[in-house]
A and B are shown apart, each in its own frame.
Chain A
Amino acid sequence: MLSTRPRLRATLMRIVQALPVVVGVVVISFLLTRALPGDPAVYFAGAAADAESIEQVRVAMGLDKPLLEQFIVYVGDLLRGDLGQSLSTGRPVAVDLATRLPASLELTLTALLLAVVIAVPLGVLAATRPGSWVDHLCRVVVTAGVSLPTFFTGILLIYILYYLMGWAPSPIGRLDFIYLSPEHVTGFYLIDAALVRDWETWRGAASQLALPAMTMALFTLAPIARMTRAAMLSALSADFIRTAKAAGLSNRKVLYGYAFRNALLPVVTTLGMVFSFALGANVLVEKVFAWPGIGSYAVEALVVSDYAAVQGFVLTMALLFVALNLVIDLLYTAIDPRTGFLSS
């Protein structure tokens, strides 16, 4: 069956290719948990521990076993969804992360959507009208955008839009406490509130989301706009565009039917890179806006040296990133009919 369906085959191949990366990610995060400064057993036993209780902790944690056996135990725990116990919240890390993940995803995805919606038309316009004000605007945005520290943009936006203008609500998380959080369905407040048709809460959540999403969008805009412009320029100078023009096709058809469709491929590839930046920037933005996502969770855990929580967070982020890259690659196969057949 696979040989008759090259696209399906290519898709499966791509999923199989992701496996070694997942293994690598697990190995690195295992090494990070073992690389604690000093002796992990001393650390987990606490400040008041004597030699005997440290030894007990060592045996309880399996730290006296050989490294390979420890790794197998670690992988076994992971497969059961056990990321260890958080010292600061006293709950399993996996539970903490699961409750906070929707907040981070809602923020990151909204920001990326916003960035794509602005950056792609901007890049296309800049490429089709070289030397115009759109082109110059694009260049300024691209150069300034990559130089902006996200945490600084966030603070600047708070100062201007909240303190000076009073347009934005105070930066205190996902929802002002005058609203009740909507019933948990997806964990995305915008979707949950819309599901129960509670538009007042929806507006409250949206206004809280606006500033952090803008901050992150400003940061991710730059690479997307740059790539769109470059890809569009190279697509427009291709032979098939000249042919299409010579054949008398309308400008619209040439631009969107042929040039844009081809320019889309490198743009989608860049999205993977942008996601890496976005997930990192997420941590900083969440700290600035007191956003209760997994990024601010990790920052709080870092401050009190809560290793299990930090490593759980790093692993979650990496797996999320691998999954997103996989989705992007599959999307690539869907957009470009050639890729599926080439690899068969």
Chain B
Amino acid sequence: MSDMPISAAPQGRFDHILYVLRSNPVTMIAFGMLGFILACAILGPSLVPYDPLATNAANALQPPSAQHWFGTDQVGRDVFSRVIVATRLDLTISVLAVTMSFVVGSILGAAAGYWGGWLDIVLNRILDTIMAFPLFVLAMGIVAALGNTIENIIYATAIINMPFYARLVRAEVNIRRDAGFARAAKLSGNSDLRVLALHIFPNALPPMMVQVSLNLGWAILNAAGLSFIGLGVRPPTPEWGIMVAEGANFIVSGEWWLAVFPGLWLMMAVFTFNLLGDGLRDIVDPRKRT
């Protein structure tokens, strides 16, 4: 079954991962790209050649050159520096949002899957209702209602992602709640909570990891989309979505670098997480490879 790789010995699991990675070099590339993005997020602000907020009207709208790799924007800020510095903010928003939906979704899903009953029914109704909204539209509504701040972007993204985790955990916990190992753990005197948290829930982690990776890419897209329509991040803060939005005004007159570079960077980040998700899925469950 899907938990076979986990039940294998540690040595075997490592070999399995190596084996899958070797047959799929794309996943290796994705890990490399992830390292690069993380480096940008952590070290970026101290490495970039220019202050991302420093304006220089004399040097506005310059095309890419040796001094300004990605050119300069309408007020003369260095696009390269802004793109790199933005990595931290975009990544923070999506990581926080996904962490929140992971934690809340896990708790709700595990409880509903283990105890069932009215808790399960109520949770399913709520999840159905959330999923009945086009998710990006719901995020817009939440941000509009709670107020236009970065924190609320994070909450909104967390809320619309939560159902995926809750459903996944609920299903994984539910099929194992009467499994032999769970009963054995219960019989040897563990409390329900302990059995659930330490014996059953860990089995849901591998598929969850796949979900997290795919979700991170989606959360970045979502946050960038929200700031593209003017929610959350305010200018002049460097952020990919907002930079694409500002650059869009110049694209019809041919200054392509303002929008294209942040857009490409955004795409690369999302692409990395999607590749990583597919690669992790191959490791966790080879049968689902498509």
Contact = CB atoms under 8 A, between A and B. Distances in A.
A-B interaction: yes
B290 interface: yes
Interface string A22-34: 0011011100110
Interface in B213-260: 217, 221, 224-225, 228-231, 241, 244-245, 247-248, 251-254, 256, 259-260
Q: Which of A284, A299, A310 has the most CB of B within 10 A?
A: A284
A262 interface: no
Given A149-B266, A155-B247, A317-B134, A310 B254 contact: no
Given A27-B129, A152-B259, A226 B225 contact: no
B256 A284 contact: no
B135 interface: yes
A291 interface: no
B128 A21 contact: yes
Given A162-B252, A163-B252, A318-B134, A147 B274 contact: yes
A37 B144 CA distance: 9
Interface string A299-341: 1001101010011011001100110010000000000000000
Contacts of A103: none
Contacts of B252: 158, 162-163, 170-171
Contact of A149 (B130, B145, B270, B290): B270
B278 interface: yes
A20 interface: yes
A92 B187 CA distance: 64
A143 to B, nearest CB: 6
A143 B144 contact: no
Contact of B228 (A156, A226, A287, A318): A287
Interface residues on B, range: 35 or more
B134 A302 contact: no
Interface string B90-108: 0000000000000000000
Contacts of B129: 21, 24-25, 27-28
Contact of A20 (B125, B141, B263): B125
Contacts of A24: 125-126, 128-129, 132
A311 B267 contact: no
Given A155-B259, A163-B252, A276 B135 contact: yes
B244 A151 contact: yes
A120 interface: no
Interface of B: 125-126, 128-138, 140-142, 144-148, 217, 221, 224-225, 228-231, 241, 244-245, 247-248, 251-254, 256, 259-260, 263, 266-267, 270-271, 274-275, 278, 290
Interface of A: 20-21, 24-25, 27-29, 32-33, 35-37, 143-144, 146-152, 155-156, 158-159, 162-163, 170-171, 226, 229-230, 233, 275-277, 279-281, 283-284, 287-288, 298-299, 302-303, 305, 307, 310-311, 313-314, 317-318, 321-322, 325
